[in-house]
Amino acid sequence: MRKIAFVFSGQGAQLPGMGKELFEHSPASRAVFEQIDRIRPATAEQCFHATKEELNTTINTQPCLFAVDLAAAEALREKGITPDLVAGFSLGEIPALAFSGVLDTESAFRLVCKRAEEMHKCALHSDGAMAAVIGMENGQVEEICSAHNVYPVNYNFKSQLVIAGEREKLTVAVDALKSIGGRVILLPVSGAFHTPLMNEASAELAKYVSGMNFNKPLIPIYSNITGNLYTENVGASISNQVKSPVRWQTTIENMANEGVDTFIEVGVGKTLCGFIKKILPEATVYNVEDYKSLEHTISSLNGV
């Protein structure tokens, strides 16, 4: 029997117009945007009409991606498609917590706004950057990171590891990686996320989540930090996540070990679909980001 996981897109996937078709065609998606707009006015307008530059600023990126991720997931649920397991990539872990019932939508959205605010502050103070290293063994990349005081941060799949750090140091590390055959792509983000450069953001989030109530998940959810199912200490995981590596390959492998054979990326783009196919070539993957992809996913799952 088919077993489905929803995976929630992370930062870097943002683009102008995201979520607009979901808003127009899905009542459940529209309800998500309307609820979020009552908390942070004009978030929907920002998703639909902001420039790429505006959307690439962390303080805007995270609330907007949260909205689109959750809207896409709710559009599927509205059509009767529900997952057995969920996970989110970095920022995507927060809408995943909302969808799984660990947090209600308002609490999760306020949390993501706080997360964006604190990470934005750190980014302004540190001049950090991130880059994806392709075609090298993780051990090689980790050695060069250590030698140049930068950090491995996103373990995406076997031959892709994202690194981050202060821009000047990252540039030196990138040159070193290229000199031994690595392919490197700079990422469209405004800070060195998932590194110690986010320590202050982590500390502020720890204070913020200390007053929150976390429910037992209605749908099992995986933690970025461990790649394993959440059991307890959700608040600590959320606050530590911003300064810790994302164990995405481990997450997907663990989902597969639980019998998941079908993954649906909810949010913007197909980045996670690409990662999953690298990790599990035999997996079936779909993405839902607009009306066309929603209809295609539903018809495919229903065998139409």
pLDDT of residue 6: 98
In the chain, list all ranges with CATH 3.40.366.10. 4-124+195-301
The helix (H) or strand (E) run that includes residue 142 is: helix 138-147
The helix (H) or strand (E) run that includes residue 201 is: helix 199-209
237 catalytic residue (yes or no): no
Identity of the residue numbered 299: S
Kindly report the CATH number that applies to the domain delimited by 4-124+195-301.
3.40.366.10
In the chain, list all ranges with CATH 3.30.70.250. 128-186
Spell out the residues 6+ positions from residue 220 whose beta carbon is closer than 8 angstroms to its own.
84, 85, 86, 100, 229, 230
In the set 90, 190, 223, 293, the catalytic residue is 90
How many C-beta atoms lie closer than 10 Å to residue 283's C-beta?
Answer: 17
pTM of the predicted model, to two decimals?
0.94
Spell out the residues 6+ positions from residue 175 whose beta carbon is closer than 8 angstroms to its own.
none
pLDDT of residue 127: 87
Low pLDDT (below 70) residues in the chain = 304
194 catalytic residue (yes or no): yes
The CATH fold assigned to 128-186 is Alpha-Beta Plaits (3.30.70)
In the set 148, 194, 202, 239, the catalytic residue is 194
pLDDT of residue 57: 87
